[in-house]
């Protein structure tokens, strides 16, 4: 039962991450975004550092872009200016390790991507920095994992693992 609750919590948390991009974005240099490609005022894809801001003026995102798509290190912040996510991108897709942070600055999630798909060992930590969940993904599919409950590992069932699939 506790594993099911943890799985539900994690699914809700991952869905909340998707909602992060739904707020209004204020771009520098009058840029526009069409089909995931960022264009400058001359309607040319952006190359170099691209930044967006919240209405309060705080930075929302900064990412290096090539041909208008994220290509390099990207950092994403909340409205108060705290780092929320960071990771690397290749041709607009997450590639490598992405980190999500708690408000206290400690790592919440450590997610590994290959060409935009979850691949490899994913870690979830509590606010103190202790590992609480480990899930292995292969090509965007959760194949094994466990939660640490009261100091003991408890394996996820196939049904519980299915809930982690994007």
- pLDDT-based confidence at residue 20 (cuts at 50, 70, 90): very low
Two tokens, residue 150: 């009261």
**In sequence order, which residues have a C-beta less than 8 Å from that of residue 124 and are 6 or more positions away?**
10, 108, 109, 110, 131, 132, 133, 134, 135
pLDDT at 164: 86
Number of folded domains in the chain? 1
Q: Which domain holds residue 34?
A: 2-162
CATH number of the domain residue 64 falls in: 3.90.930
Q: What is the pLDDT of residues 34-90, one digit of tens each?
A: 666 766 666 778 788 888 888 898 999 998 888 888 899 999 999 999 999 999 999
């Amino acid at each position: 039962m506790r594993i099911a609750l943890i799985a539900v919590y994690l699914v809700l948390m991952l869905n909340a991450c998707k909602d992060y991009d739904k707020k209004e974005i204020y771009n520098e240099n009058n840029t526009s975004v069409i089909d995931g490609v960022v264009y400058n005022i001359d309607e040319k894809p952006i190359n170099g550092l691209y930044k967006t801001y919240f209405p309060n003026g705080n930075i929302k995102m900064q990412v290096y872009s090539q041909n208008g798509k994220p290509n390099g290190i990207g950092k994403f912040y909340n409205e108060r200016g705290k780092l929320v996510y960071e990771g690397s991108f290749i041709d607009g897709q997450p590639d490598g390790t992405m980190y999500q942070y708690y408000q206290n600055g400690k790592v919440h999630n450590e997610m590994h991507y290959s060409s935009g798909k979850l691949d490899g060992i994913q870690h979830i930590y509590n606010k103190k920095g202790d590992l609480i969940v480990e899930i292995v993904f292969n090509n965007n599919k959760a194949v094994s994992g466990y939660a640490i409950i009261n100091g003991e590992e408890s394996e996820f069932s196939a049904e519980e693992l299915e809930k982690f699939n994007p």
